[in-house]
Amino acid sequence: MNKILFTILAALSLLVISCSKEGDNAQAISNKSVDEGQHLFSKEIVVSDETGKSTAYYRVYSEEKSLVNDYLTAYSLKLITGVDHLESGNMTDHLLGYDKAKKSDSYSDEEPKIFVEFITANLEEGVSGFQLDVKLNQLKSSNNWIMGYPVGYTTSNNFIGVVHYLEGWEILVKMQYKENWLSSWKYVVINGIESWWVGTNLNQYWLRFSTGNYNKRGLVIYPHRDQTVLNYKIAYSLEEFRGRDCAIGTYDSRNCHIGVAPVGTSAFMWPDRYGAHYYTPINGNQCPMPGSSFDGSSCFVVDIPENLTWGFTWNNNWYVAGNIIY
């Protein structure tokens, strides 16, 4: 099958302090964290979606070899691929300010020492964007530092965003950028604030960084120290910046749940993820699920809304992805 290849080359950088503006009330400060040109340890990893037909390549790097190994042990990464050809709307970047004076010990003060950089993607034909779903594996006691430890997610794309799942504590997020390949990383400061809460409130659950003409941009994520699961996903294109609103179904803290196929039947989609949800009939033509109907070969459940979302099945359940955040 033909694939669409998006290649983003990782650039070396030197420590050069420069100044920039973003918006009328924005300023930048130097980020003292490790720069790519200084890192000693890195590993490239391949992340795929559930079908295995779309993959993305990331570089995990740090000055400390143990941090790279611990990150890859502690975190599980998966691609969430979506629809193509959606028009983006206009929306001001969502910012919920964070006051350092009110900060407790629940969030780290450290600069990030681990970075996960998006390098390139090899996507199934017809798929133009994806999100990175970050999950926490079962940790050993020696790896408990990972909760609350800041991780930087970076890209050469002109967009990066984070969506908070419905569960758990808020995350603390900083936006960072490099003006050019010679620049050091800078934090974005707006109205004197450089960090923002992203939480479970319906109006405060996402943040995007899509303004400015930069060589690279990124988000530094600070999980709550008491968090027991990872509760965010990273988007690298506006077309795949999906939230918790559902065109159909009910949000279940990860996706939009439609229902479960009756016992003795199998859930499926046809003709593809953009078509409709079905299940196999019983006794040749019986569809026991209320609201479903026999169409001559299978039991029809619901159409997947065209150009709004895409469907998938898991554990004999039907799902669709959340709506685009414009």
pLDDT tens-digit map of 38-53: 446 888 888 888 788 8
Task: Compute the CA torsion angle 48, 74, 221, 115 (nearest 10 deg).
Answer: -70
pLDDT of 122 above 90: no
Q: Chain-wide mean pLDDT for the chain?
A: 76
Closest by alpha carbon to 123, among 162, 82, 76?
Answer: 82
Task: Phi first, then psi: give them for residue 70, nearest 5 degrees.
Answer: -65, -40
- Confidence band, pLDDT 50/70/90 cuts, at residue 145: low
Instruction: Of 36, 111, 21, 58, give the one whose Cα is nearest residue 236.
Output: 58
For residues 297 and 150, give the distance between their C-alpha atoms in angstroms, rounded to a whole number.
Answer: 52
Residues with Cβ < 8 Å from 294, sequence gap 6 or more? 281, 285, 286, 287, 300
| pLDDT (0 to 100) of residue 131 | 76
Contact status, residue 74 vs residue 146, Cβ threshold 8 Å:
yes
| 306 vs 223: which has the higher pLDDT | 223
3-state class of 77 per DSSP? strand
pLDDT confidence of residue 144: 53
Any idea what DSSP says for residue 250? E
Over the stretch 4-23, which tens digit does the pLDDT of each residue have? Answer: 322 222 221 211 222 222 33
Q: Which residue has the tokens 């407790």?
A: 104
β-sheet bridge partners, residue 45: 58
- State how far the Cα of 255 lies from the Cα of 304, in Å rounded to an integer: 14
| Average pLDDT for 152-168 | 88
pLDDT digits (tens, 9 = 90+) for 190-247: 767 788 888 877 667 888 888 778 899 999 999 888 887 778 888 888 777 888 889 9
DSSP of 106-138, one letter per residue?
TS--PPP-EEEEEEEEEEETT---EEEEEEEPP
pLDDT above 60: residue 37: no
Q: Which residue has the tokens 């554990």?
A: 315
Q: Is 83 exposed, middle or buried (0-12, 13-18, 19+ CB in 10 A)?
A: buried
Domain ranges of the chain: 3-240, 250-320
Higher pLDDT, 25 or 275: 275
In percent, the amount of the chain with pLDDT more than 70 equals: 76
User: Of residues 299 and 51, which shows the higher confidence score?
Assistant: 299
pLDDT of 29 over the 50 cut: no
Q: pLDDT category, 259, cuts 50, 70, 90?
A: very high
pLDDT (0 to 100) of residue 138: 62
Q: Report pLDDT for 203.
A: 65
How many CB atoms are closer than 10 A to CB 282?
Answer: 15
Contacts of 133 (CB under 8 A, 6+ apart): 77, 78, 79, 80, 233
- By percentage, how much of the chain surpasses pLDDT 90? 22
pLDDT value of residue 258: 97
| Better pLDDT: 109 or 20 | 109
What local confidence, expressed as pLDDT, does residue 137 receive? 74
Separation of CA 100 from chain center: 26
Phi/psi of residue 129, each to 5°?
-145, 170
Q: Which is more confident, 76 or 137?
A: 76
pTM: 0.69
Average pLDDT over residues 137-144: 58
pLDDT of residue 64: 83
- Buried b or exposed e, range 111-150, using 16+ CB within 10 angstroms: ebbbbbbbbebbbbeebbbbbbbbebeebeeebeebbbbb
pLDDT (mean) for 83-99: 37
Q: Is the pLDDT of residue 170 over 70?
A: yes
